[in-house]
Amino acid sequence: MAAISATLSLLKPGDQLVVSELIYGCSYRLFSDFCEHQNISLQFADLTSMEALKTVITPKTNMVFFETPTNPFVKTIDIQQVSTQLHSVNPAGLVVVDNTWATPLFQKPLLFGADIAVYSGSKFFGGHSDIIIGAVTTSKEELSKKLTGYRFYHGALPDPFNAWLMRRSLQTLGIRMERHQKSTEKVANYLQNHPRITQIYLPPIDGQQLLGYGGLLFIRLDCQTYETVQTFMNALELFDLGTSMASVASAVANPYHGSHLSMTPEEKAKISLDEFVVRLSIGLENPDDLIADLEKALDTIF
Ligand SMILES: Cc1ncc(COP(=O)(O)O)c(C=O)c1O
């Protein structure tokens, strides 16, 4: 969150910020609260739609912030199109991409016109759920200077142990992402045909913007009550229950009551997030064991 806060420090009262409506719940709340206090005009919008893009991004827009693949539902937002649109109507406007889920190995926002890419290093970068750290990257020197100044004056600095753990983790990022990707594909293929799953959400890998994808997927369970969802999640033995994710250990979570808890029921309804959507984070265990565990848990809700 410190990385996201650092980019917000680039805005001033009176500015206009456009944010994707499909975004991590705490980011949603941070933007809402920050903009209200700082007198910044904030608009949430469906940035997956070209039509929406054109109406919402105007010469007065100072910053556009989004995650792609989106959270939830891992939809694609076209970084090039957002950047072209913003920079053509406001050359000084900033496009900021939260690239935490794709990682720079699978998606490089700055090559598609984004000004800044931010990362929660607590996820795939760290990969072991034992670090709180983040990163802001930019190819613009002026921005880099401002962000470095913010980091110094606001104390958004990792302590030496976290920095050491991060160095250790980055040595295996490539090999971990390869394995996350292979296992996610295998698990997704299994879930695709399951009668109790009405929908599985995976991002399209176009080979241009998104070169690969691993780890996080969403499923919609075919059930009537949240108790059934809980029965399924509690029956899993190899998936940790909780908000931790993008780690060596697989995890299961309910975004409605977890990552997006800070949004109101109305805000969640607007993005079609209900209680039957479950997020799976596929870790580095043997994928066949994960499939067996999912099968057993799905059997409990038949
Ligand atoms: C996409 C994304 N960005 C940012 C964050 C915030 O990261 P942290 O918990 O490291 O502050 C999260 C946390 O889940 C996230 O999923």
> Could you state, in order of their start, the residue ranges of all structural domains in the chain?
2-170, 173-299
Mean pLDDT of 191-220: 96
Only one residue has tokens 């990792």, namely 158
Average pLDDT over residues 80-97: 97
For ligand 1, whether the C-beta of 7 sits within 6 Å is no
| 257 pLDDT more than 90 | yes
Say what the alpha-carbon torsion angle 253, 290, 188, 217 is, to the nearest 10 degrees: 20
Q: Among the atoms of ligand 1, which is closest to the Cα of residue 101?
A: 1
Average pLDDT over all residues of the chain: 96
**pLDDT above 90 as % of the chain:** 96
Asked if pLDDT for residue 251 goes beyond 90, the answer is: yes
Coil, helix or strand for 274?
Answer: coil
Report, as an integer, the average pLDDT of 149-176: 96
pLDDT at 50 over 90: no
Adjacent-strand bridge partners of 220? 199, 277
In 3D space, the residue among 111, 75, 115, 85 whose CA is nearest the CA of residue 97 turns out to be 115
Whole-number Å distance, alpha carbon 133 to ligand 1 midpoint, is: 10
Of the options 1.10.10.10, 3.30.450.20, 3.90.1150.10, 1.25.60.10, the CATH number for the domain spanning 173-299: 3.90.1150.10
Give 225 Cα–ligand 1 centroid separation in angstroms: 28
Q: Give the residue-averaged pLDDT of 159-188.
A: 97
Q: What is the pLDDT of residue 157?
A: 92
Strand extents, DSSP E, the chain? 16-20, 41-45, 61-67, 94-98, 116-120, 134-138, 197-201, 216-221, 240-241, 251-253, 277-281
Strands 16-20 and 41-45: what pairing? parallel
Q: How far is the CA of 1 from the centre of ligand 1 (A)?
A: 6
CATH number, domain 2-170 = 3.40.640.10
Q: What are the backbone dihedrals phi and psi of residue 267, each rounded to the nearest 5 degrees, phi first?
A: -65, -40
Banded pLDDT at 302 (limits 50, 70, 90): confident
Q: How many CB atoms lie within 10 A of CB 227?
A: 11
Return the ligand 1 atom nearest residue 243 CA: 14
**pLDDT given for residue 67 in this prediction:** 98
Rounded to 5°, the CA angle 261-40-45 comes to 55
- CA-nearest residue for atom 3, ligand 1, is 120
Against a cut of 0.75, is the pTM above it?
Answer: yes
Query: How far away, in angstroms, is 174 Cα from ligand 1 center?
Result: 20
Confidence of residue 88 (pLDDT cuts 50, 70, 90): very high
For residue 242, is pLDDT > 90? no
The per-residue pLDDT for range 4-35, each reduced to its tens digit, is 999 999 999 999 999 999 999 999 999 999 99
183 lines ligand 1 (CB under 6 A): no
The tens digit of pLDDT for each residue in 261-290 reads 989 999 999 999 999 999 999 999 999 999
